[in-house]
Chains A and B, each alone.
Chain A
Amino acid sequence: MSRRSKWLWLVAILGYLFLYAPLVIVVAYSFNDSRLNAQWVGFTLDWYRKLFHNQEMLGAAWNSLLIGVSASAVSTVLGTMAGYAMYRFKLRLLPILVVAPIAIPEILMGVSLLIFFVAIDLTLGLTSIILAHIAFCIGFVAIVVRARLAGMDESLVEAARDLGATPFQAFRLVTLPLIMPGVIAGALMAFTLSIDDFVITYFTAGAGALTLPLEIYTMVKISVTPEVNAVSTLLMLLTLALIVIASRLSPGTLRAGG
């Protein structure tokens, strides 16, 4: 190994340490038998026990799940259509509208949706959050599906058409099964993004609905407690599981995320 590559390794290890040390600390303190996130006192599962008796937290988790499932279901259908349309046709407006919500600072989408929902007299709550989440998830699904389509062998569709399949039959029987891993990966990504979203939810939730990130935010604002460590650890575990599934189904999905 040359001197230069040793130096590179050292910097890279420091880089990975920087990325992981904070998260490892959150997980470690979730098992620490002390109210303070300072000295290690002893191992306990108390914070998890507390968590499962915290009605507000459980309610927030249920809301997050409901929002995540509805938003990812709708955005997967719309995002797949968008990804297919962008791959198949020369479009001007759609690609811009797909990328723009991802490209601008999140806060802008949050405040504009707040004004919009109030203007159309929609009470802020679960519905407004779901509508907002669908809007920012469509782009991510569309990008993953489009990438999958770009890697597809176009001659298979042509063969189906030559054999007399209608365009719709060719899509349903050939294209869709081929891009299915991309679609599922997109759906899991949308679910993760929805479960994790804080900024847009913060503006579109009103007083009615609490989600996990909103609950975590409120707790952290008041004080730093090991209960937050416990819920964070569980949330990380969930995300990790979803990511492993998504990457098994469609390698390269992770890179399209944001």
Chain B
Amino acid sequence: MTGRRLNTWLISGPPLLYLVVFFAIPTLIMVLASFRYPGEFGGLAPLVQRGEDGQRIVNLTLENYQRFFSDALYAELFLKSFWYAVITTVLCLVIAYPLAMLIARSPRSHRDLLVLLVILPFWSNFLIRVYAWMILLGPQSVFAGALNALLNAFGLGPVRLLFTPFAVVIGLVYVHLPFMVLPLYANLEKHDPALLDAAQDLGANGWQRFWRVTFPLSLPGVFAGAALVFIPAFGIFAIPDLLGGTSGIMIGNVIKQQFLDTRDWPFGSVLSMVLTVVAVGLAGLAAWYARRARAMA
């Protein structure tokens, strides 16, 4: 072994070993668990058993996957979570775009502060940010009171805000917004203002300059932000758990339930596997689109 290779191993070895043991192996164990039988008292049944004739039997099955594909309930739940995540991503994009544009076009000296102001709230505890919306949307809150008074003026009955799908989407948007602002800003900041001047000289109005110049150029940022918002939003369980009530549950809640309440780990692992495949698949798609958009820009 040459000195350089020894060095490589000495330096990359310890973190590599740690991540293999505490990330790669647990993930593989979860993959295997999705093919195992549930234990009598929850958890997992023994993988290898001695049969009556003393032969060793390996207990593996496809039953868990069959259960997933035979009950439409789970597919519907994935679809519902998918739509919540899509709506969240779109709303984040709509709110983040003007914010990112403003930051990118303000004087250089102001930019860092404006970016910091976007990131700061997201460094506060995740649960606190969700909890804040429990106060705001709760029936006693000033905000909910004002909204219901307004609705009342139009002859519409009082609406419940907390423990609804609406509350879940608000929470999801709130928590993930910075993930959309940052990649958008990073992209918009690099645009050459001369392009907009050129478009104006050629007779393009404000909207045309936006739709035909700025927006197409920002697509890599849009896709990066979409992936960063969509993936965590898709698998989340704490937000629907606290804001959603029974009508707002998502696939993350069912995974949590399978592992901690029902303790059917093999089936919980199946749901986790499907979540991983869908999330990583969609992220890969977004990355591919982003690369293509960059290549065309």
Please say whether chains A and B are actual partners in one complex: yes
User: A residues near B, CB below 8 A?
Assistant: 4-5, 8-9, 11-12, 15-16, 18-23, 25-26, 29, 36-39, 78-79, 81-82, 84-86, 88-89, 91, 93-94, 97-98, 100-101, 103-109, 111-116, 118-119, 131-132, 134-135, 138, 142, 167, 192, 196, 198-199, 202-203, 213, 216-217, 220-221, 224, 228, 232, 235-236, 239-240, 243, 247, 251, 254-255, 257-258
- 8 A-B contacts (beta carbon < 8 Å): A85-B15, A89-B8, A97-B19, A105-B276, A107-B235, A108-B276, A217-B127, A220-B127
Does B88 count as interface, using CB distance less than 8 angstroms? no
Contact A113 B123 (CB under 8 A): no
Does B95 count as interface, using CB distance less than 8 angstroms? yes
Chain B residue nearest in CB terms to A192? B123
Contacts of A118 in B (CB 8 A): 43
Contact A115 B123 (CB under 8 A): no
Chain A residue nearest in CB terms to B132? A22
Contacts of A21 in B (CB 8 A): 136
B138-173 interface (Cβ within 8 A of A): 138, 140-142
Contacts of B99 in A (CB 8 A): 11-12, 15-16
| A48 nearest CB across to chain B (Å) | 16
Contact A37 B138 (CB under 8 A): yes
Contact A216 B252 (CB under 8 A): no
Count of inter-chain pairs, beta carbons less than 8 A:
232
| B134 nearest CB across to chain A (Å) | 6
| From B20, B43, B142, B252, contact of A107 by CB (8 A) | B252
What is the predominant secondary structure among interface residues of chain B facing chain A?
helix
Given contacts A29-B135, A81-B15, A107-B255, contact A37 B29 (CB under 8 A): no
Contact B11 A4 (CB under 8 A): no
Tell me, in angstroms, the Cα distance from A115 to B96 when the chains sit together: 38
Tell me, in angstroms, the Cα distance from A98 to B268 when the chains sit together: 25
Contacts of A18 in B (CB 8 A): 95, 174, 177
